[in-house]
């Protein structure tokens, strides 16, 4: 088959590789019909994720069709159209039993983290992919849900919802600020409505992204380049700050901003992937009754979000801004890598 193979920092190729096969009785092989690219894939290509070794097939998102199933697989069958979750879960360890699949203890490889596709094992930017723990890692796609909507459930929508909205404890009537209007920030904005947010304030430096944010559920926008951006945000509350501040960038400045706009009793939910420590102003914050959360998506809410997509309550397909064939995957990377210019959110790559 053909696949997108990592050959060390800065090097990748769409090339012929051996087909994957069933190894364990809980495996299936899926023919990938649609995949996409994540910001993490760009980090890997820069060499930022040392666990990814040369020869690895990239990608952890996808929708496809089961073509072969191990003897212990019961929840899916050959021919089923499925979402491939970015998190692999054994279903029987103590973390899986509490729904914290991100920390599955039985994963393949050494990381102790449920994200293994395109990381510790070969991924989804390929014509075929082996999926371990298939019963707990695949979700059947109902009729009427398109591939380009379904593929947003592999990672981005559950990430915005679980790590942003749910960890942030958004509740009816809340004012929610989302700092960073990239794909995952937009996913948090879109799903904040599921807990009845009264206002969703999008913050970003890029006016194009702020314009897009309104289509994803933002009721208000603030350009964080403005000198008075904190006052603008506070002015949209009763003066005490927002109920929930969601960090969707991954740098110290935006994290710090979240701790400064949150009200006493509120929540800061960090979704961004950070590469450096941050300074926490505990001398001011110790008295503030806030919670600060962070984490990797478990995709435990994928089936629930899929119901809402099927009922047309979440317009997941809205993230798909550009479309490519499998043989255009390098072009897709280029478009996604220059998102500021191309205004790409998610690029959809289909068979």
Residue 235 found at the interface with a copy of itself (CB under 8 A) = no
The residues in 243-262 that bind a copy of itself, with binding defined as CB under 8 A, are: 250, 252, 255
Q: Match 């009729």 to its residue by tokens.
A: 143
Which of residues 270, 316, 336, 344 is near a copy of itself by CB under 8 A?
A: 270
The answer to whether 300 contacts a copy of itself (rule: CB under 8 A) is yes
Query: Smallest distance, Å, CB 60 to a copy of itself?
Result: 14
In Å, how far are 80, 128, 134, 164, 282 from 75, measured between CA atoms?
10, 20, 8, 29, 48
Chosen residue from 15, 231, 289, 334 binding a copy of itself by CB under 8 A:
289
Stretch that binds a copy of itself, among 49-57, 80-88, 176-184, 193-201 (CB under 8 A): 193-201
222 binds a copy of itself (CB under 8 A): no
User: Which of 77, 282, 330, 340 is close enough to bind a copy of itself by CB under 8 A?
Assistant: 282
Judged by CB under 8 A, the chain residues 87 through 126 that form the site for a copy of itself are 90-100, 102-103, 106, 113
Spell out, one character per residue from 37 to 56, where the chain touches a copy of itself: x when CB under 8 A holds, - when not: --------------------
Contact 288, 241 (CB under 8 A): no
What's the rounded Cα separation, in Å, for the pair 201 and 58?
A: 34
Q: Which is nearer to a copy of itself, 72 or 225 (CB)?
A: 72
Rounded to whole angstroms, how far apart are CA atoms 27 and 48? 29
**334 in Cβ contact with 341 (< 8 Å):** no
Query: Is there binding between residue 272 and a copy of itself (CB under 8 A)?
Result: yes
The answer to whether 180 contacts a copy of itself (rule: CB under 8 A) is no
SS3 188: helix
Residue 282, φ and ψ in degrees, nearest 5: -65, -20
Strand partners, 63: 34, 83
Separation of alpha carbons 221 and 283, rounded Å: 30
- Asked if 72 touches a copy of itself (CB under 8 A), the answer is yes
């Amino acid at each position: 088959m053909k696949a997108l193979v990592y050959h060390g920092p800065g090097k990748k190729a769409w090339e012929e590789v051996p087909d994957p096969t069933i190894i364990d009785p809980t495996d299936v092989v899926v023919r990938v019909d649609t995949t996409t690219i994540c910001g993490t894939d760009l980090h890997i290509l820069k060499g930022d994720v040392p666990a990814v070794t040369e020869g690895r097939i990239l990608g952890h998102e996808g929708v496809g069709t089961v073509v072969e199933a191990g003897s212990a697989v019961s929840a899916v069958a050959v021919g089923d159209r499925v979402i491939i979750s970015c998190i692999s879960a054994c279903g029987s360890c103590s973390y899986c039993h509490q729904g914290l699949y991100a920390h599955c203890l039985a994963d393949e490889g050494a990381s102790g983290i449920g994200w293994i596709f395109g990381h510790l094992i070969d991924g989804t930017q390929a014509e075929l992919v082996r999926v371990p723990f298939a019963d707990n890692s695949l979700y059947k796609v109902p009729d009427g849900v398109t591939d380009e909507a379904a593929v947003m459930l592999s990672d981005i929508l559950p990430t915005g919802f679980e790590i942003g909205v749910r960890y942030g404890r958004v509740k009816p009537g809340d004012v929610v600020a989302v700092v960073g209007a990239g794909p995952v920030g937009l996913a948090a904005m879109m799903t904040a409505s599921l807990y009845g947010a009264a206002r969703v304030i999008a913050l970003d430096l890029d006016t194009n992204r702020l314009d897009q944010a309104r289509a994803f559920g933002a009721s208000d926008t603030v350009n964080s380049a403005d000198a008075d951006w904190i006052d603008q945000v506070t002015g949209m509350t009763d003066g005490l700050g927002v109920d929930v501040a969601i960090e969707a960038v991954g740098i110290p400045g935006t994290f710090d901003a979240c701790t400064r706009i949150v009200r006493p009793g509120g929540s800061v939910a960090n979704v961004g992937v950070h590469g450096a420590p941050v300074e926490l102003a505990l001398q001011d914050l110790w008295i503030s009754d806030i919670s600060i959360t962070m984490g990797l998506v478990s995709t435990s809410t994928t089936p629930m979000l899929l119901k809402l997509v099927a009922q047309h309550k979440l317009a997941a397909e809205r993230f798909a801004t550009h479309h490519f064939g499998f043989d255009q995957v390098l072009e897709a990377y280029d478009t996604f890598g220059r998102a500021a210019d191309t205004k790409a959110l998610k690029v959809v790559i289909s068979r």
